[in-house]
């Protein structure tokens, strides 16, 4: 029966190729959507790791150290004494716009001391040391020595940070604490959080400590709706893939009704007939998964947002594809089971 199923695949190869291409495209878009949704968190993780801080001290009512921050006076830095922590780092965060080729773009602004943790390493140039200096992400395609119109100010680019983005591709820029205060808070001595390096035993009254995972969640929180929409769309695409495979197997079963009747008439067991149909579904699903993985890698970089397809998606794709193939072939299998052997002796 397996040989007969393979022969049927060969006989109807054009139809099966069309089904494989169609299902492969669906799988590819599923992987791309997964990569886009995962890219939001990858951006946040890379940004937090580049700061070189273990914890963040924020006001008790704040949702997080960045997007959900509640600015407080920088003078509080001198009053904070956290056991096991040396040299607390004042951090400033906010969002503003830059002028790029005649249009405005949002950027994420980080302010930190020019030496020590809080400022990422630059791939070229140096870190900002003065309030009118700035380091930018290489995604902005700006070079060291150029001027940048940001907010209401013009600043000089002194450094470039590699691949530093947030919030679906928005570039990150890095200033000194004073420079960020002038840009975001009109010069007021406010900070968004206090970066901590070391083990935190407890938080002072009126404050709470946020770890790395909490900081990442704070940065991806504005994209929660987008992530949920992408996961929902991925679910719909899996259904579409199942329908494509299922319809193909069902049509094949309808066309092979006389074949199934002959097989039953000569004593072929029903499970053997079903295994042939199931094998066809699995072959189509696996080949579609392979094609989808290749297309996903090719199509991902074409999107304007970061597409970072996780390893588990590539590993899980063929497994889910086989499950979908078997599930989708149920209608065809039921058709094969109900075929009357007497049809083998009927007229054409």
181 within some domain? yes
Same domain, 108 and 155: yes
Count other Cβ atoms within 10 Å, centred on residue 99.
13
* Pairing of β 170-175 and β 103-111: parallel
- What rounded mean pLDDT belongs to the chain? 83
pLDDT above 80 for 14: no
User: Residue 190 belongs to what domain range?
Assistant: 55-199
In this structure, of 99-113, 193-207, 289-303, the range with the lowest mean pLDDT score is 193-207
φ/ψ of 70, rounded to 5, equals: -125, 100
Is residue 42 a contact partner of residue 306, using CB atoms and an 8 Å limit?
yes
175 within some domain? yes
In this structure, of 9-18, 229-238, 278-287, the range with the lowest mean pLDDT score is 9-18
Same domain, 63 and 7: no
Crossing angle of helices 330-337 and 224-255, rounded to 10°: 20
In this structure, of 34-48, 94-108, 122-136, 211-225, the range with the lowest mean pLDDT score is 94-108
Using DSSP's 3-state secondary structure scheme, residue 225 falls into helix
Same domain, 184 and 289: no
336 within some domain? yes
Here the tokens at position 291 are 């094609």
6 within some domain? yes
- According to the model, what pLDDT value does residue 284 have? 81
pLDDT of 134-188, one tens digit each? 999 999 999 999 999 998 889 999 999 999 999 988 999 999 999 999 999 999 9
Residue 183 CA neighbour count, 13 Å, CB half: 32
- According to the model, what pLDDT value does residue 253 have? 66
Band of pLDDT at residue 248, cut at 50, 70 and 90: confident
Residue 227 CB partners (closer than 8 Å, separation 6+)? 37, 40, 220
Domain boundary among 165, 199, 233: 199
Count other Cβ atoms within 10 Å, centred on residue 66.
28
Which DSSP state fits 162?
T
Mean pLDDT of 52-60: 90
* Pairing of β 207-211 and β 55-59: antiparallel
pLDDT above 70 for 273: no
């Amino acid at each position: 029966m397996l040989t007969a199923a393979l022969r049927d695949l060969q006989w109807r190869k054009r139809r099966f190729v069309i089904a494989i291409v169609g299902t492969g495209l669906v799988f590819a878009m599923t992987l791309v959507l997964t990569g886009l949704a995962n890219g939001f968190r990858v951006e946040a993780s890379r940004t937090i790791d580049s700061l070189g801080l273990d914890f963040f001290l924020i006001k008790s009512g704040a949702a997080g150290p960045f997007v959900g921050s509640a600015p407080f006076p920088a003078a509080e830095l001198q009053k904070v004494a956290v056991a096991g922590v040396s040299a607390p780092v004042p951090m400033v965060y906010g969002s503003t716009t830059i002028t790029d080729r005649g249009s405005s773009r949002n950027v994420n602004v980080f302010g930190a001391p020019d030496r020590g943790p809080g400022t990422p390493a630059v791939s070229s140039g140096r870190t900002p040391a003065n309030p009118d200096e700035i380091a930018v992400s290489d995604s902005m395609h700006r070079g060291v020595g150029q001027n940048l119109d940001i907010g209401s100010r013009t600043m000089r680019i002194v450094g470039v940070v590699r691949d530093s983005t947030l919030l679906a591709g928005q570039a990150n820029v890095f200033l000194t604490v004073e420079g960020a205060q002038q840009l975001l808070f009109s010069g007021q001595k406010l900070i968004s959080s206090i970066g901590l390096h070391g083990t935190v035993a407890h938080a002072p009254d009126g404050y709470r400590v946020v770890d790395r995972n909490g900081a990442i969640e704070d940065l991806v929180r504005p994209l929660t709706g987008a992530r949920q929409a992408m996961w929902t769309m991925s679910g719909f695409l899996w259904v579409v893939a199942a329908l494509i495979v299922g319809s193909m197997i069902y049509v094949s079963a309808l066309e092979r009704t006389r074949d199934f009747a002959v097989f039953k008439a000569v004593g072929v067991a029903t499970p053997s007939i079903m295994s042939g149909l199931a094998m066809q579904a699995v072959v189509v699903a696996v080949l579609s998964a392979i094609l989808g993985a290749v297309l996903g890698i090719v199509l991902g970089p074409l999107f304007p947002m970061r597409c970072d397809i996780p390893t588990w998606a590539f590993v899980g794709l063929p497994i889910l594809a086989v499950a979908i193939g078997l599930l989708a072939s149920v209608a065809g299998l039921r058709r094969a089971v109900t075929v009357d052997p007497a049809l083998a002796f009927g007229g054409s």
